[in-house]
Copies of this chain bind each other. A is one copy, B any other.
Amino acid sequence: MIEIRKAVAADWNQIWPIVHEVFARGDTYAYSPDTDEKQSRAIWVEAPKATYVAVEGGEILGTYYIKPNQPGLGSHVCNAGYMVSAAARGKGIGRAMCAHSLQEAVKLGFKAMQYNLVAATNVFAIELWKDMGFEIIGTLPKAFNHKTEGLVDAHILYQLLT
Of the listed stretches A12-20, A49-57, A139-147, name the one at the interface; the rest are far from the partner chain: A139-147
Number of copies: 2
A138 close to B117 (CB less than 8 A): no
Q: How many residues on the A side are at the interface (Cβ–Cβ under 8 A)?
A: 37
A117 close to B151 (CB less than 8 A): no
B138 close to A30 (CB less than 8 A): no
A32 close to B73 (CB less than 8 A): yes
Q: Do A30 and B74 contact each other (CB < 8 Å), given the known contacts A137-B139, A138-B156?
A: yes
Instruction: Name the B residues within 8 Å of A137 (CB-CB).
Output: 138-140, 156
A90 within 8 A of B: no
A114 within 8 A of B: yes
